A and B are shown apart, each in its own frame.
Chain A
Amino acid sequence: MSELTPPSPAAWTPRIIAFFCNWCTYTAADLAGVSRLKYASTTRVIRLMCSGRVDPQFILDAFRQGADGVLIGGCHPGDCHYVEGNYKMLRRFQLLKRLLKDLGIAEQRVRLEWISAAEGERVKTVVNEMTAQIKALGPLGMPQAFATWDQEVSELARRTGDAGEVESQEPVAAAK
C-alpha cells in the first residue's frame, strides 16, 4: 500500500520523534553533542529508561500528532541495561511495522536502531539518513488527514441525515 500524501511545501522540514533509551542511545546522543558532531535539527528526543518502555501507542500517537518519522534507539542486543528490554522492543517493532504498512505509512518512517553509548557518530549518521529518506517521502500530515476525514465524516453524516428524507439517493457516492 503506498502513501497518499500531499506534495511537500517548499519550507517544510521533517519532524522526527526519537525515543532513546537512557543508557545507550541517549548517552550516545549526548556524546555526539560533546564531540560537536553536526546533524539535521529534525529530531526531538524523548528519553525513556529502556527501549522496552516504548509502547507501540507512543509511535502511533507521534504520527497522529504530526510526526513525519519515529526513531527508536536502544542498546545493542546483549547489552541492554535491563537484560533484554531491547529484544522486547524488537518483537513489538516487527508487528507494528506490519500494522503501519497496512495503515499506509511507509516503512522508512519508523526505524529501530541499536546505538551504544560510544557511538555518537552513529546518531549523526542515522538522523541524517532518516531525514533524507523522509524528505524524499514528503510530509505524512496525519493531523491534516484527520481533519479531512472528520470533514468527510460530518459531510457524510449530513448527507445520510438528508438521506432520511431523500430515500437512499446515491449512497455509494456519498461514502466516497
Chain B
Amino acid sequence: MVSIKQDIRIGFYVCHCGHNIASMVDCPEVASYVEKLPGVVLSRDYKYMCSDPGQELIQKDIKEFDLNRVVVASCSPLLHEHTFRTAVAAGGLNPFFFHMVNIREHDSWVHTDRKEATAKAKALARAAIRRVAHHKALEVKQVPVNPDVLVVGGGIAGIHAALTLANAGKKVYLVEREPSIGGHMAKFDKTFPTLDCAACILTPKMSSVGAHENITLWSYSEVVKMDGYVGNYTVMVKRKARFINEDLCTGCQECVANCIYKEPKFTDEFNEGLGKRKPVYIPFPQATPQVVLIDPDVCLNFKRGVLTDKCKKTCVEACGDRKAIDFKQKEQFTEIKVGTIIVATGFQTFDAKRVLPYGYGVYPNVYTAMEVERLVNASGPTSGEVILRDGRQPKAIGIIHCVGSRDKKTNRWCSRVCCMYSMKLAHLLKEHTGAEIYNFYIDIRAPGKGYEEFYDKLNEEGVHFVRGRVGEVTDWGMTPEEEGKLVIRVEDTLAGFVRRIPVDMVVLATGLEPQADAQDVRRLFNMSCGTEGFFLERHPKLAPVNTFTDGIFIAGCCQGPRDIPDTVAQAGAAAAEAMVLIDKGHVEQEPNTAYVLPDCCGCKSCLPLCPYTAITFDEATKKAVINEALCKGCGTCVSSCPSGSIAQNLFEDEEVFSEIEGVLAD
C-alpha cells in the first residue's frame, strides 16, 4: 500500500461523455470506487466534464473542498488535457496538479464487455490517483516567436497562404521545388463549376507573389533540413542551379529564341510531355518568377549534366550585356530562421499505367485527364485544338471516372475532384470538338456549391452518363463500326447488360495521391502521415490545419484530396493559425524538461545521448548540466542515467512507478 501524504486532497471526476463512455463504463460505480481510495476527498460522475458547467464544477470544488489535486477520467489527454489544466488553473491551483485518464479512446470505444471496461477504467483511475499525489507545481516557460514564416510549396495553397500572411505584414519565404510557382492549378484550362479560366484567376496571384515586398520567393529550391522548435525553426534551403542569375535575367527569352537548337525537341514537362521545349526555356508563359532556366541534361554546353563548354553559346551572345547566363552556377544552401512553417506540398496524380486494362501507354489515344487539360488549353501544345496523337479529331470520347480511386487494388479513397473535373472536361471537349461524350462512373459525387447544377447542365447538353465501372479498353473491333476505334467494355448497371461503346479517344480521370516523397517531407518536418500517406492533421475536425508538431501547419492536397475552393479556405486557415502564434509573440512550452539532481557523479554517459546537445558537462562542479531551453523533454537521458541522477518534470520516476503500482493494484 502506497502511503499518501497527509495533505493530499484529490478531487476525482469521471465523465459520461454522453453515451460515449457511459454506455460501456459504469461511471457511477467508478466514482464510488475511487471515492474510497486514500487521498480522495471527492469523487463525482458528470455528463460532460469538458462543458462549461463541468469545468465550473471543478473550479467550485477546488475552493469549496480545498482540493489540491484533480484527476479527470474522460477522453484522450491529447484532446482535452489543456482544457482541464486551464480549468484547474482558473480554480486557483497550479495547472500541473492535474492528471487525465483516458477511458474513452483507450477503453469504452475499444471494448465490448461492460464489466471488463469498468474494471479497466477503475484500474486506470486508481493509477492516476496514486500518480497525481506526486505531482509538483510547475511553471510554464514562455519562448518568443520569430515572426517570419516559411511556406513550402507554391501551388494555389502555398500562394494563398503566403499572400495572406504577406498582406498582413508578415515576412514570408516561399520555397517551390519547380522552376515556377503555380502548381497543378497553372496547368488547368478551366475550373469547375464556374468555368473560370484557371490562368485568369491564378496569374494575378502569382504575379503578386513575385512582386510582393514581404515575400522572398525561391523557386527551383527545396528544403533539405529543419531544426528547432515552435517559434524558432532553423531551415536549410537548397537552391538548385538553374544556370541563370535570377537577379540579372529580365525574362526577355531572347536566349530561348537564339538557342543553337532552332526547334524545340525535348519533352516539355509542363505540357505533360505533349509538347516540346528547348534546353533553355521558361516553363510556361506566365511563369513566376519570369526567369528562364537551362536543362543541363540536354544543353549542348553540358554532357550528361557536366559542363564541357563545347557549345557556341548563342544564348550567351543573345543575352549580351545582361550577362544573366552562368554555366558555372552551383547549387547553393541558404539557412533561414522562421517561427512557423506552412507545408503545402500538394499531390501527384495517379499513374494510369497501373491500371492495365485501360491501356494507357499502350493505345496512343488513351489520355490522362491532366493531358487533356493541356490539350484543350489555348496556350497548350496544340493551341487548344483537340487533335489526337494520330492527327485525327475525335468524334466520340469516353471519360472513365475513378481511375486509381475507390479501388482496393490501387487507392481506396475517393479523390473528390474527379467527378467534377471529368464533367468539366466533358463540357470543354464537347465545346471544342462537338463529339459524343460518354462518362463512365460509379457514383456521381457533386457535393459543392453549384456542383449538382453543373451536373444537370451537362445532362441538358446531351453528355451521356453510363453507370458502371469500365472493365476494359481494347482496340479489338468485333463489328465494322468498331474497326479502328477504341472499344470500351462496361456493364451498364442501370440498363442491366454489358455494353461495347466504340470511341476515338479515352480520357482517364486519374485520382490524387500523396507525393512520391511525402514520407521524406514528413520526416523533414516531424509530421505524421495517415494510412493513405497524406499528412496527418492534429484533429480531423477541430484542428484540420495543425500537425502534431506545434508551429507546423498543413494546407491543400498534401493533407488529402480536395478542390480549389477548399484548398484556398484551408490555406487561409493555416495562415491564420500562423498569425495567432506571431501576433501572440510567444509560445508556452510544456514544462516536461529534464534536470540533473545534485547526486550526479559526472560519468558523462548522458552527454552523447541527447539529440539536441542540451546536456553539457560543468568542469567546475564535475556534474552534467541540462540547458532547459534546448531540452525537448523526451526523457531518454533520464532512463539512461546509471545513477538515477536525472529527473524529468511531469514524468518523474516516482510518478511513473506509482502509476505502474496503481494500475496493477487490483
Contact = CB atoms under 8 A, between A and B. Distances in A.
Given A30-B78, A37-B110, A38-B110, A48 B105 contact: no
A34 interface: yes
B76, B116, B636 — most chain A CB neighbours (10 Å): B636
A14 to B, nearest CB: 12
A73 to B, nearest CB: 12
Interface in A16-74: 17, 22-24, 26-27, 29-30, 32-34, 36-39, 41, 44-50, 52-58, 61-62, 65-67
A78 interface: yes
A82 to B, nearest CB: 4
A88 interface: yes
B117 interface: yes
Interface stretch (A106-114, A115-123, A152-160): A115-123
Interface string A113-150: 00011110100100000000000000000000000000
Interface string B314-343: 000000000000000000000000000000
Contacts of B112: 38
A23 B77 CA distance: 12
A34 B104 CA distance: 9
Interface stretch (B260-268, B445-453, B462-470, B528-536): B528-536
Contacts of A78: 523
A17 B111 CA distance: 17
A83 interface: yes
B528 A58 contact: no
A33 B651 contact: no
Interface residues of A, number: 52
B548 A27 contact: yes
Interface string B165-200: 000000000000000000000000000000000000
Interface in B100-114: 102, 104-107, 109-113
B638 interface: yes
A57 B656 CA distance: 10
Contact of A32 (B105, B124, B634, B661): B105
Given A27-B548, A29-B106, A49 B664 contact: no
B117 A47 contact: no
B633 A47 contact: no
B592 interface: yes
Nearest to A65: B664
B660 interface: yes
Contact of A67 (B110, B636, B664): B664
A41 B78 contact: no
Given A33-B76, A82-B611, A82-B632, A55 B638 contact: yes
A49 B635 contact: yes
B: contact size bracket: 35 or more
Contacts of A49: 592, 633-635, 648, 651
B639 A53 contact: yes
B636 A38 contact: no
Contact of B664 (A17, A57, A119): A17
B653 interface: yes
Given A17-B664, A55-B638, A32 B110 contact: yes
Contact of A41 (B111, B548, B660): B111
B663 A46 contact: yes
Contacts of B123: 44
B663 A53 contact: no
Contacts of A13: 116
A62 B664 contact: yes
A53 B548 contact: no
Contacts of A39: 110-111
Interface in B32-75: none
Given A55-B653, A67-B664, A41 B659 contact: no
Given A30-B106, A88-B640, A53 B635 contact: yes
A52 B664 contact: no
Given A24-B528, A65-B664, A44 B536 contact: no
Nearest to B531: A118
B267 to A, nearest CB: 34
Contacts of B498: none
Nearest to B20: A33
17 contacts: A23-B528, A23-B548, A24-B528, A27-B78, A27-B528, A29-B105, A32-B110, A38-B111, A41-B117, A57-B653, A61-B657, A61-B660, A67-B664, A85-B611, A117-B536, A117-B548, A121-B531
Given A38-B111, A61-B660, A65-B665, 10 more contacts: A30-B105, A34-B105, A49-B651, A53-B638, A55-B638, A58-B657, A65-B660, A82-B611, A82-B634, A83-B611
Task: Identify the 3 closest CB pairs spanning chains A and B, nearest first.
Answer: A33-B105, A53-B635, A52-B636
